[in-house]
Amino acid sequence: MHAYDTSPSWTQYRDILETRFGITLARTPVETWRQVRGHDVHIDAWAPEGPAYGTMILVHGAGGNGRVLAPLADLAAGLGWRVLAPDLPGYGLTRPAPGYRGDYDEWPAIVAQLAGETEGPVVLMGLSAGGMTAVFAAEAARTVDGVIVTTLLDAGDPATFARAARWRWLAHLSRVGFALMPWLIDRLSMPLWLVAPMRAMSSDEQMNDYFARDPLLGRLWVRLRVFRTLHQRKAKRLAPGCPLLLVHPGADAWTPTELSLRVYERIEGPKDFVELSNGSHLPLERPAYGELQASISRFLEGVAGGGG
């Protein structure tokens, strides 16, 4: 059975975190697999030192996997929270259910089920496309106590879909294919580096090169049905049913802040918005990373204290 701890992908990523960003992880996750909706879902489980205040479920985007979110998992565990970081079907080390064709709707459904099976307070945190996945999951689960997102991207909006693609012409061509030849699109797969601007993940070129070339990231072949069904999922009026924090990187070259604010304005219920001083799509740069840590800490303290 494959595992991250024996993978060069993890060794290289950990080295880049330390040498390029000064981030040294204090903990190592326990790798587990859980049957969820027929999928054999790989989950990194991060444990705090003592009793947990609750559980944070990390939700990766369409260009990552659960292990990429290790810096945030280590942070939350250090704040006293148990953390689960699943690989969603088609990504990472999860083995999809037989017959799974790449439907995006499975992603929020899996996160919602994990939340529903978890005792105590539950907070979802999504990055990139994982932000909307976390909101959709909170709406479905109704057992979530808070949602933190770095981005809120309505992939059902043509302009946003085009901005998030590697090339705008590819997004426009894809939308034509989605409408006229869904049966053909659903049968195709492509490496992620052709679909998404993986080199816009960070302001650091070594990190971007890692994301573009790693076999579990940029060189991972993904079904285009994931992106077609993601495009079909419209974000209209949203009511996650719990407090929401949008903490957007201030120098995100992939998805600028205004794209997230368009969705943020449509979200009902208690919410707060923080824009980091800088920070790329994966905001590990200083001072953005410290500001992100502070925002997460304040939000989790509110949830643990019952104040939301």
* pLDDT confidence of residue 248: 98
Which H or E element spans position 191?
Answer: strand 189-191
**CA distance linking residue 51 with residue 129, whole number of Å:** 31
Domains and CATH numbers, the chain: 4-302 (3.40.50.1820)
With contact defined as beta carbons under 8 Å apart, do 259 and 177 qualify? Answer: no
Tokens coding 229:
């069904």
Tokens coding 60:
């990766």
pLDDT band at 237 (very low <50, low <70, confident <90, very high): confident
Is the pTM higher than 0.75? The answer reads yes
Residues 6+ positions from 80 with CB-CB distance below 8 Å: 48, 49, 50, 51, 52, 53, 304
Residue 300 reports pLDDT greater than 60: yes
Q: Is 250 left (phi over 0), alpha (psi -120 to 50) or beta?
A: alpha
What are the tens digits of pLDDT across the range 66-99?
Answer: 999 999 999 999 999 999 999 999 999 999 999 9
